[in-house]
Structure 1
Amino acid sequence: MSQPVLYTVFDTAIGRCGIAWGPAGIVGASLPEDSANDLTARFTARHPEAREGTPPSEIADAIRRIQALLQGAADDLADIPLDETGLSEFSRRVYEIARRIPPGATRTYGDIAKEMGGLHLAREVGQALGRNPYPIIVPCHRILAAGGKTGGFSAPGGVQTKFRMLAIERAKTDTAPSLFDELPLAAPPKRTH
């Protein structure tokens, strides 16, 4: 008898997220949905046998690390084990490349396509990332279109969620300086002498 896929939802700085796991690791993650029911529907659509469960220690640790990342911690989550059963070799390679992108950095679909064998693969790279079952852990939000443009983002909240995650990581999305790049975070206190 195989072990069932279990899932749980948890709060983060960007909303309620979800994670699903099985005996071989994480089988899915989800960015915020409108409700916990939507998160549940996402996991049970992919894994009809999935049921809610209490995360074991390694999954609880992954949840804590995701929460910290979404509050600005510099954790690439690259060592979190994923169950890649059913993924194509192409998708596995794309996700492995994406997992090497550190927080605060970005790459383009073209960069990844070149590493995969040629710029002609950019569309396929985008499609693999659009099917990413592990958003946040496989950081598809760090992959942009040419020229620093956001490209698509199929996660709930769309491009706004992508921008929000990149802002939390303090990532630059283009080469133009921001109006606020050189400003201090707070004005120095006034002296009262």
Structure 2
Amino acid sequence: MAQNVSFTQMKDGTKADYELLANSEHAYVALTADRVLDELRRQGQASIEGYKITRLDHGLQAATRAQRDGADIDWIVGALLHDIGDGLAPQNHDRFSAEVIRPYVRWDVAWVVEHHGIFQMIYYAHHYGWDENARDKFRDHPCFDSCAAFCERWDQASFDPAYETETLAHFEPMLREVFARKAYDSAVIREGFVSPLTS
């Protein structure tokens, strides 16, 4: 039988309670990759209507393009998961998606995923009467060019049902490797370093 904490209000918790929760959280965090994979599979079943492919197919296609361009594992997983937030946070999916990967990938990859939504507007915003150049407010940011290239090469181009795309099983080992990293490891995050999209 599972052991539970003694409190009904956090402020009443004991050291033993919080040690119990720390152990439970460790086991829960270890299954993050499984939950992410489940969400990707769900996106293959239920997606935004109107597109020619599912959100899962879109992520797989973006990741396939990234890998074929010679991108490293952080960029590939970033491309795979850049829209993982669509299901729960369609109005801010880019920021939601970035928070999923932020503890495990380089800071520039997380920044690009966080801002790809506004960068993508260059392709369609004028059709709605919006500012297609809204991304220009980030013109001086060190990741501006990376985000523009990410959107041009891997995101906006990945809605093609005829494109030969790798499967989720192909990317699963990469995804598991990334989510097995120690969260917020400074050697991984490399704050301030801007990596090339391709080797």
Normalised TM-score (structure 1): 0.32
* Greater share of residues in helix: 2
Structure with bigger strand share is 1
Higher relative contact order (CA 8 A, sep 6+): 2
TM-score (norm 2): 0.31
